[in-house]
Amino acid sequence: MSRMSTHWAWVRRATAAAAAIFALSFSAHDAAAQQSPLVGYWECTGQTNGVTFFSTFDYRANGTYVSTQRMSVGADLLEGGGNGRWRLDGDVLFDTKEHATMDRFVRNGVEVLSSDPEWQQLYRQSQANIGTTSSGPIILRGDALSSGMYTCHRQRRLAR
């Protein structure tokens, strides 16, 4: 398998994993969201198929969230973020991503410019799931959350 096809294979796996992992969604004034134990700032880590993930999620009581993501494999790195709406129904978290950014792409340890065709392709892939809702089961126990390959811990935020 060529280096390029191997690279795209990890990107496809990472994109699929991110869609499953970043499961959140819906109503801005949902009473259940206001009372949800999920509300707060979380840091999440995980690994699958050689891809390492680090994310932050700020789940807000009004049913919205803001997130950052970092995915790496070897010397390759993708960083970005996004925001959207979330809803927790029992142990299933629903997410509708409304905005996504791709802030940084490093290939073989070298920063790739946003004008590079591969950067542009990855950016288009990051935009492809905007407006779609993903869902997935979670286990939430106090300040610890797990979802498939992710483990998250609630963090205290410093006043800004």
Which tens digits make up the pLDDT trace of 130-150?
A: 998 989 999 999 999 998 888
pLDDT higher than 50, residue 155: yes
All residues at 6 or more sequence positions from 144 whose CB lies less than 8 Å from its CB, including other chains = 151, 152, 153, 154
Q: Which long-range contacts (CB under 8 A, 24 or more apart) does 3-7 make?
A: 7/76, 7/107
pLDDT at 34: 59
Q: Domain extents for the chain?
A: 3-155
